[in-house]
Amino acid sequence: MLDIDNLYLEFPVYKGAIRVLNGVTIQVMPGEIVGIVGESGSGKSVTAMMSMRLIPQNSYRVRTGSVRKSGRNILQATEKEMRHIRGKDMAMIFQEPMTALNPTMRVGRQITNVIRRHTSLSAGQARERAIALLRDMHIADPVQIFDAYPFELSGGMRQRVMIALAFSCEPSLLIADEPTTALDVTVQKQVLMLLRERARKTGTAILLITHDMAVVSQFCERVYVMYAGSVVEQGITAQVIDRPAHPYTRGLLGGLPENAEPGSPLQAIAGQVPNLADLPGGCAFRNRCPLQGEPCSQIPPLMPLADQPGHTAACWMTAGEAAHV
């Protein structure tokens, strides 16, 4: 359904270019909940934005690769086609809903505008549909929220409104870029549960972007781990979490509170994400990697892992390892 194939993307800058995506391949099947996880700057948002072509076309260069949605070539679609696809076929929710909601317009009006742009419903029908959507978000008094301005709502309530807005045209794919990062943990969980419940009901697939492995483990069926513009590991969530193969994934998991010895500090991955304009040759993770060895001066491709169908990792040092527990 969403098919990003070997995408190399760069941003031209003065005297050169920053390579932001280095051959990213990501697929989302109908109805699936898929995660992309990685530290800040790994290219998660650029990948998400390119799926809906939300980056101005004159600001980036695609060296090779393609992005397809239900067979349609997103990189070559006209702006008119993209306007139709966005909202109707694919929707996106962002970390800070205040930036996506219009502050000067009542919430209900924003939802009915989207519904009316993509359907032939009358104003009255669109209003009913919007209120029903808000009720589906377990909002106790949807009429009151319908008439509210965004600033009158709490962060969690705003994110529920954003989800209602995203589902208003029953898209087949919803891309959620850190949708709950700004919320406290309990509200975060409620919002994620809501998202999943709605997606299950409508058959919508979700591509969920997060830096939090705990969110992936609770929420996603499959996961792609990104580092410095590359997918370094991917597979069924349970496999990746139970037997992480890439040292970077192991590092991300080592930082989870539930994996720490009681009383001991949480582990962080040493070092920082490298500057994309100046990546080390070979494996991009090598200067932070506890396992680095001689083969790491060559860029590792995603390699299958023994006895784990579909699970691949881009690490020479752990390739072919049967099980890491």
CB of 91 to ligand ATP, least distance (A): 18
When the beta carbons of 46 and 145 are compared against ligand ATP, the nearer one is 46
Q: Binding to ligand ATP by residue 8, rule CB under 6 A?
A: no
Q: Binding to ligand ATP by residue 20, rule CB under 6 A?
A: yes
Total number of residues shown for the chain: 325
Residue 211 interacts, among ligand ATP, Mg ion, none and using kind-specific CB cut-offs from 5 to 8 Å, with: ligand ATP
Residue 92 interacts, among ligand ATP, Mg ion, none and using kind-specific CB cut-offs from 5 to 8 Å, with: none
Residues 22, 45, 110, 312: which binds Mg ion (CB under 5 A)?
Answer: 45
Residues 6+ apart with CB under 8 A from 221: 32, 33, 34, 236, 237
Single out the segment in contact with ligand ATP by CB under 6 A; choices: 23-31, 41-49, 119-127, 234-242: 41-49
Q: From CA 155, how far away is CA 236, in angstroms rounded?
A: 31
Residues 91, 165, 220, 276: which binds ligand ATP (CB under 6 A)?
Answer: 276
CB of 20 to ligand ATP, least distance (A): 4
Residue 133 contacts residue 161 (beta carbons within 8 Å)? no
Output Rg (C-alpha) for the chain, integer angstroms. 21
Task: Read off φ and ψ for residue 127, nearest 5 degrees.
Answer: -65, -45
> Please, where are the H alpha helices in 220-282?
237-242, 247-254
Q: Binding to ligand ATP by residue 38, rule CB under 6 A?
A: yes
Please write down the long-range contacts of 290-297, taking CB distance under 8 Å and 24 or more positions apart: 290/247, 291/247, 291/315, 291/317, 291/318, 292/317, 293/317
When the beta carbons of 45 and 292 are compared against Mg ion, the nearer one is 45
Residue window 43-82: x/- pattern of binding to ligand ATP, with contact defined by CB under 6 A: xxxx------------x-----------------------
Q: Binding to ligand ATP by residue 23, rule CB under 6 A?
A: no
The β-bridge partners of 37 are 210, 225
Q: Which residues bind ligand ATP (CB under 6 A)?
A: 11, 18, 20, 38, 40-46, 59, 211, 276
